[in-house]
Amino acid sequence: MNYSFHSILSCKHEKGEINIKYFLFLSAVLSLIFAAVNGSAEGLSNSVLSASQDAVQLTLTLLGTMAFWGGVMRIAEKSGLVRKISALFRPFLKVLFKGINESGEAFSAIVMNITANLMGLGNAATPLGIKAMKALAEEEHSNGTATGNMIMLVVINTASLQLLPTTVATLRLTHGSSAPLDVLPAILFSAACALTVGVTLTLTINGISKRKGRG
């Protein structure tokens, strides 16, 4: 999981709140009905009483890891390591973002956004991504319609890019895993497959709609 906190905080967002409201409503009503039918009201009552404690426990479990990686990655940012690594990705990203102005503000924000995501810098990645989107909207005159490159940026950001899934590793460790990171190859493989499908599909549809637009 890209333990970007923007994703964990999703329920705070205005648009997300609509979904979450229905979710809260449905879970309270459905649980009550099911508990009455299944005769599991006592268990339900206990879980209401204990769940908030579990949430505190979970926060405490993750607190140390989150703080530690926040500290490590701040050093990586300040020392210029993140910027240095981002230079490696430029040539690849040039291929994905067709017709983009390579020296423009949008492209450099895109490169930094994707590098920050790869390094698990969720806090830094989101503002960079938003900056990139605004710059793209201006450079490509979007006028309220997503351009091909904007779609590419969003699709890449909806994929999990984080190379080191520290939250998953921490939870696995605290729940008794003998080698919490032994799932890393599987995670990276699965994430790479998902990203490849998303990016290829975006490139294909972008290409088709561009040709149609010209014809």
Partner 1 sequence: MKITSFVIPMVVAVVFVYGIYKKVDIFEEFLSGAAENIKVAFDILPALIILMTCIGMLNTSGVVAFFTNIISPAAKVLGFPPQCLPLTLLRPLSGSGALAVYENIITEYHPDSFIGRVASVIMGSTETTFYTVAVYYGAAKVKNIRHTLLCAIAADITGFVVSCAAVRLFM
Q: Which of residues 16-35 bind partner 1 (CB under 8 A)?
A: 16, 19-20, 23-24, 27-28, 30-32, 34-35
Least distance in angstroms from the C-beta of 127 to partner 1: 10
Least distance in angstroms from the C-beta of 66 to partner 1: 4
Out of 89, 90, 104, 181, which residue is the one contacting partner 1 (CB under 8 A)?
181
Enumerate residues 151-180 that contact partner 1 by CB under 8 A.
151, 153-155, 157-160, 162, 164-165, 167-169, 171-172, 175-180
Q: Which residues of 82-96 are buried (b: 16+ CB within 10 A; e: fewer)?
A: beeebeeeeeebeeb
Enumerate residues 196-215 that contact partner 1 by CB under 8 A.
197-198, 201-202, 205, 209
> Is residue 139 a contact point for partner 1 (CB under 8 A)?
no
Out of 95, 141, 186, 214, which residue is the one contacting partner 1 (CB under 8 A)?
186
Q: Between residues 91 and 144, which has the closer beta carbon with respect to partner 1?
A: 144
> Is residue 69 a contact point for partner 1 (CB under 8 A)?
yes
Give backbone dihedrals phi and psi of 97, rounded to 5 degrees, phi first.
-100, 95
According to DSSP, residue 180 is labeled G
Query: Which residues fall within 8 angstroms of residue 110, CB to CB, at 6 or more apart?
Result: 93, 97, 100, 132, 136, 153
Cβ proximity of 2 and 117 under 8 Å: yes
By CB under 8 A, the count of residues binding partner 1 is 114
Q: Is 106 left (phi over 0), alpha (psi -120 to 50) or beta?
A: alpha
**Site track for partner 1 across 107-126, x = CB under 8 A:** ----------------x--x
> Is residue 88 a contact point for partner 1 (CB under 8 A)?
no
12 by Cβ neighbours in 10 Å (0-12 / 13-18 / 19+) ranks as exposed
> Is residue 80 a contact point for partner 1 (CB under 8 A)?
yes
> Is residue 95 a contact point for partner 1 (CB under 8 A)?
no
According to DSSP, residue 147 is labeled -
Cβ proximity of 173 and 180 under 8 Å: yes
